[in-house]
Amino acid sequence: MSTGDLVPVRVGIVGQGRSGWGIHANLFQMLPEHYRVVAVCDPIEARRQQAVATFGCTPYLNLNDLLADPAVELVVVAPPTYLHAPNAIQALEAGKAVVCEKPMATNLYDADLMITTARRTGSLLTVFQNRRYDPDTVQVRKVIESGKLGRIVQIKLLNQGFGRRWDWQTLKSRGGGSLRNNGIHAIDQALQLMGPVEPEVFAVLDRTLTLGDADDHVKIILKAPGAPTVDIEVTSCCAYPRDYWHVYGTQGGLTGNARELHWKYFRPEELPPRQATVESTPDRSYNHEEIHWYEESWAAEGGIELGWKGYYLDLYNTLRNGAPLAVTPESARRAMAVIEQVTRTCPV
């Protein structure tokens, strides 16, 4: 299909804050042949008017009015987290296709209710787990699947920093906390790399520098037979942050971040044959041998939002061409199940 044959999906965005405006609206501006913002809903007048000036769309104060607009095909649900499930369910009931911001809900019960509603109404539901499309995430998966690193033993995902925060995302009443805000991304990435397993979950939640009552220090270990152990850390109290990615393999490893990745590996056939022995080393030292390393690297071209466009291109292919849904609500539910276990066992 040529660009001239494309029929833009007509979008209504609920919420014009950091996500609804700064991410979704921005992405739609980058994909004008595929999407057209025809309506927005937000309680703040200045935000509604900014959207009108940018898109020429219809502004709504009330969600019911946006859902009653026949011009809206797809609803992007991007208000504060505690409104994700009720707003998404309302949109599904209205017969709209729905993109729900992450996390899809504040708890697993509501996530399941969203999925049940989508199945009952026949309305499409997907969750904006956009980090699956990060260029570095895609590259890490390619390196792992190449087999160059051997069997993957452990993966560390470290989102570390030092600083206070005091907006709504620090409040339990609004579904805030680092676990649901940034932790959900790392959990989703981890589950994609672990494969179709149900991991054991070990976790610690804490409040350190936050001015709210929700968590801002998260430590999660995911473990399952036949899958790499995943160590996730999202913290606001690390004064010496490290790179986000650390992959341990039996033939090498990988490290890096959203801007660049580096990995090195050896070729087993190049090592001399050896076997374990009860004999001590002649010079009483530890075993040591020289390993010839092969080193490779990757650098990002442009910002990560260039990768996020892939989410909406895949969705367009589903909405207009009937392609299978790339990010199913059931796959997003897996991350919600982990969050449920963490919050149940580690109250803050």
Burial class (CB in 10 A: 0-12, 13-18, 19+), 328: middle
Q: CA 269, CA 286: separation in Å to the nearest integer?
A: 23
Q: For residue 326, tell me if it sits in a domain.
A: no
What pLDDT shows up at residue 95?
98
- Residue 198 pLDDT > 80, yes or no? yes
What pLDDT shows up at residue 348?
86
Shared-domain flag, residues 109 and 186: no
Instruction: State percent of the chain over pLDDT 90.
Output: 93
Average pLDDT over residues 76-100: 98
Q: Which DSSP letter does residue 170 get?
A: G
Instruction: State phi, psi for 47 to the nearest 5 degrees.
Output: -70, -40
Domain span at residue 172 reads 132-304+335-345
Mean pLDDT (the chain) is: 96
Shared-domain flag, residues 187 and 265: yes
- Residue 4 pLDDT > 70, yes or no? no
Q: In this structure, how many other beta carbons lie within 10 angstroms of the beta carbon of residue 53? A: 9
pLDDT, one tens digit per residue, over 60-72 is 999 999 999 999 9
What pLDDT shows up at residue 128?
98
Closest C-alpha among 114, 112, 58 to residue 91? 114
Out of 68, 95, 128, pick the residue that ends a domain.
128
Q: For residue 234, tell me if it sits in a domain.
A: yes
Q: In this structure, how many other beta carbons lie within 10 angstroms of the beta carbon of residue 237? A: 16
Out of 128, 162, 186, pick the residue that ends a domain.
128
Average pLDDT over residues 13-29: 97
Q: At 24, list the tokens.
A: 């979704």
Average pLDDT over residues 25-35: 97
Shared-domain flag, residues 161 and 112: no
Shared-domain flag, residues 248 and 100: no
Q: What is the CATH number of the domain that holds 244?
A: 3.30.360.10
What pLDDT shows up at residue 1?
47
Full strand arrangement of the beta sheet holding 260-265? 200-206, 217-223, 229-235, 152-160, 245-249, 252-256, 260-265, 294-299
CB contact at 8 A, 121 and 92 = yes
What pLDDT shows up at residue 282?
87
Average pLDDT over residues 278-288: 89
Average pLDDT over residues 320-337: 98
Q: At 317, list the tokens.
A: 């292919």
pLDDT, one tens digit per residue, over 186-196 is 999 999 999 99
Shared-domain flag, residues 47 and 171: no
Whether the bond into 103 is cis, omega within 30 of 0: yes
Q: For residue 324, tell me if it sits in a domain.
A: no
Q: CA 99, CA 97: separation in Å to the nearest integer?
A: 7
Q: What is the CATH number of the domain that holds 124?
A: 3.40.50.720
What pLDDT shows up at residue 131?
96
Burial class (CB in 10 A: 0-12, 13-18, 19+), 244: buried
- Residue 246 pLDDT > 60, yes or no? yes
Instruction: State phi, psi for 70 to the nearest 5 degrees.
Output: -70, -15
What pLDDT shows up at residue 184?
97
Out of 83, 102, 128, pick the residue that ends a domain.
128
Q: For residue 52, tell me if it sits in a domain.
A: yes
Instruction: State phi, psi for 254 to the nearest 5 degrees.
Output: -140, 145
Query: Which residues on neighbouring strands pair with residue 204, listed in sequence order?
Result: 219
Average pLDDT over residues 267-285: 92
Shared-domain flag, residues 177 and 292: yes
Q: How many structural domains is the chain composed of? A: 2
Q: For residue 299, tell me if it sits in a domain.
A: yes
